[in-house]
Amino acid sequence: MKRWFTVLFSTLWLIGCQSTSALAPKTATYHSGFDASSTLAHFFHPPPDTPTHYSGFYPLAQGSDALLARLALIESASTSLELQYYIFRDDETSQLLIWRIFEAAERGVKVRLLLDDMQNRKDSAIAYLNGHPNIEIRLFNPHQHRYVRMLSWVTDGSRLNRRMHNKSLTADGVVSIVGGRNIGNEYFSFRSDVEFGDFDLLLYGPVVEQTQVQFDHYWNSDFAVPMAWIHPSDGALNQQDVEQWRTESQIEHQFNNEQYSFKALPLYRDIVDQQIELYWGEAVLLYDLPEKIDNGQSQLIDGLAPVLADIEHSVVIVSPYFVPTETGTQALIEAAKQGKKITILTNSLASNDVFAVHGWYAKYREKLVKGNIELWEMKSHAKAENPWSVTGSSRSSLHAKVILLDKRKIFVGSMNIDPRSAELNTEMAVVFEHPQYVSATQQELLKQLQRSAYKLEIKDDELIWRDYQTGQILESEPDAGWLLRSGAWLSGLLPIESLL
């Protein structure tokens, strides 16, 4: 595959040289570490006697808080910003973030933006932003046919099926945000037909440098192609363009009205008053190397395996796309036989935005339940406790990827429990040890399941869905019509499990 990238780079170079004589070669760049002069460096203070190797975290469970936290990091940055995302949409929340990134670049902040090449944005638009002297954008594992992408899939589908699923944002080498959220309205509870229930952690301490090292691996890899090679810019985004856009879009009004107001969020006042209290504990960042898309080797799973093997009594798995495979199913059942309590939360068919995934997951449900695995499926009409959640969303969907281990450790990241995350996509996650937080979180989650999810059980040797909130017992996929059920069932007949 690397030979293919050499050919691609050469081709893009020649194309670029036809349109510009100032095309710069790709150079390796690296993070500069903790910026002690940054405003962010004075924001958090560990409690007395906190070990120096501990890191701090703050949970971002609500979409509104997750957006506000990202804006706070971008607006506070003084030297560097590093952003890495699988999806970066072109909607209101994405535009708001791009605007603030531009403002940061205008005041001298060096911005490195690494995007997986699964974006709906035009190359010309990305190149226009990339034209700013303080912003550099690279695309990961790009399509070779830029205008007819379907042709790329026809000729090179095996390569393009492997994507960078990592998600991180780091400001000044001081604070990072890592978790399951992409950038788009549905991830931030803002004006979307579907509202994703997601989860991030804001990070401070030694784990932030681990996040930057991870970013550098991807940024400097052969698979990250400079935007200037793909589509050289004829100009750069400037203040006049931005002011015109602000006037036309009324972007500030959209986030400063009665329904959507940052100032109405409790987190806003905590940030202004510098009153965010972090949870402190030992932390490690687990991540795949970018070469996984070439060799299929998962460094993340290698790192997670001993953590899972160390489980003594309980594990709670939250995964929106859950395809355990036959091997994984048997391993879970065997763990349950050994006395370990295993609880799993995933999407129901109606709340799942990929019915083919549900079709294959459904093949393992009965075995799991009969094997004493506690299995729950998210309701499509579950309502998040979020001041912005009344967004007109017609459907809720689980998107968080979290594992709670022995009421002691928490795993938060981009990885689903499915073959795609294990073998095809690159992933990252952070593991924190904090018994008090994890125990309280697990207790609260199990309470929420009673309201927001169906419990799967076996009655008369048949699978049923129990709704503890209403007392109902359902005998078929809740809230899903015949067409959706048929699509999922047919998908389960196709030999596509390894692609899900």
pLDDT band for position 192 (50/70/90)?
confident
Contacts of 160 (CB under 8 A, 6+ apart): 141, 143, 152, 153
Q: Out of 198, 294, 406, 418, pick the active-site residue.
A: 406
Q: Out of 132, 165, 379, 434, pick the active-site residue.
A: 165
In single-letter form, the type of residue at position 298 comes to S
d(CA 412, CA 428): 9
In single-letter form, the type of residue at position 143 comes to H
> Residue 339 has what pLDDT?
95
> Residue 2 has what pLDDT?
53
Q: Out of 31, 292, 379, 401, pick the active-site residue.
A: 401
Q: Which residue ranges form the domains of the chain, and what is each CATH number? A: 53-142+150-191+200-272 (3.30.870.10), 281-499 (3.30.870.10)
> Residue 8 has what pLDDT?
45
Answer with the residue of higher pLDDT: 322 or 387.
322
pLDDT band for position 385 (50/70/90)?
low
Can 122 be counted among the known catalytic residues?
A: no
Q: Out of 167, 358, 409, 434, pick the active-site residue.
A: 167
Contact 175, 73 (CB under 8 A): yes
d(CA 86, CA 114): 9
pLDDT band for position 24 (50/70/90)?
low
DSSP readout, 107-145? TT-EEEEEEES---S-HHHHHHHHTSTTEEEEEES--S-
d(CA 380, CA 453): 9
Q: Quick one: which of 393, 329, 400 has its CA closest to 193?
A: 393
Quick one: tokens of 167? 């998600």
Answer with the residue of higher pLDDT: 171 or 241.
171
d(CA 210, CA 247): 40
Q: Out of 172, 200, 288, 294, pick the active-site residue.
A: 172
Looking at the predicted structure, is the pLDDT value of residue 159 above 70? Answer: yes
Can 231 be counted among the known catalytic residues?
A: no
Contact 389, 374 (CB under 8 A): no
Can 53 be counted among the known catalytic residues?
A: no
Can 461 be counted among the known catalytic residues?
A: no
In terms of average pLDDT, the best of 117-131, 212-226, 387-401 is 212-226
Contact 276, 58 (CB under 8 A): yes
Q: What is the mean pLDDT of the segment spanning 216-242?
A: 92
pLDDT band for position 130 (50/70/90)?
very high
Q: pLDDT tens-digit profile of 453-469?
A: 999 999 999 999 999 99
Q: For residue 43, what is the DSSP state?
A: T
DSSP readout, 278-326? PEEE-EEEEE--TTHHHH---HHHHHHHHHHHT--SEEEEE-SSB--HH
Q: What is the mean pLDDT of the segment spanning 306-332?
A: 94
Can 172 be counted among the known catalytic residues?
A: yes
User: Which parts of 141-252 are beta strand (E)?
Assistant: 168-171, 175-179, 194-197, 200-204, 224-226
Q: Out of 231, 292, 399, 409, pick the active-site residue.
A: 399
For the chain, what is the mean pLDDT? 90
pTM here is 0.93
Quick one: tokens of 68? 């506000």
Can 340 be counted among the known catalytic residues?
A: no
> Residue 16 has what pLDDT?
39
